[in-house]
Structure 1
């Protein structure tokens, strides 16, 4: 890790996830291959492949293009760090952005010495909510979280997510990890963009918006709860 690297300028925190028709609050688990994530006995890895088309690629590439910095839980970091550094085609804009962007990892088990993906600037092991709140307040830009379901749950509980990028796929697998669980604070979403792919997947961009009388959420001048100790990512 580079010594004394400053935090990148970031304010808006975006959570990019996927959902399946059987449960709109379930988060992406093992989309790319059978062995990507078998936790919980999940046996349907690779379920997303049949739904990838040109429009899907345009949507995902557009989301990645907005990335100024990345935030991961341990498992998602390890999965992505095992693949993307090997994608060196200069025409692959997504690979170039992911490999170059500053990266922050939330984990109590990963050591800085093992966080070797290019431009990994810190491993956050404690006071997670307050440290991410400070990171969001350090400037301007877009800090994106991909995968990392536990981390997104914790960020949501502490009102730290400004915007959600969700792709709903027309498939049923009946099991998986949940994005919005029973402890999630009540809230609504202000939808700013919807696109449908040729395979029937629906890509949604939605900002966190409190229910009437609820706690303000997100980072655009909102008042945050003073809670620390968010759970690290898996």
Structure 2
């Protein structure tokens, strides 16, 4: 069972998930986000930005509480470049040391939602908020802007944009653009738009191009990700 709601700050999202023993793994699609997690089995964990789908669950029963930080916000909260967390699940103690992590873990055991929110709000305040470039770049690429146009709008050379994107998002702007475009495409398809129209609207060459790109990022074709 999965539920989510706005966290009330920085466009972050709080979510909860409970899995039963032996349930089929859940396919978590890449979205450019970093998640701060609490697990009833693993404690506090950071999920870095993924380049391809991550299969979660499939083992013993487990309860999860997560705080999904929007693209570009993770480094301000966690204090490390997103590229160092790419495609990884890292115990929080490995990032912040055992003493701090142990104190936060005790808080999370009592109230994981409050603990994750308190951690993120306090760290964001100390960092002076997220780098505003992250939201600008993510919005431009999500809207279909080219990498060249995004770099020009940000006042950066393409190589400088690439470096900043690796720090903020975990990968370069081309990869981020593909991931965000897949998210737009799947949202339209799940709302009932035929895949051929989705492909044209989102800038794919054709439906076959959409299918190849989704399969490359998600591991399955788009039809496998739509409601039955």
Q: TM-score with structure 2 length normalisation?
A: 0.25
State the structure with more CA Rg: 2
- Return the structure number with greater helix share: 2
More strand as a share of residues: 1
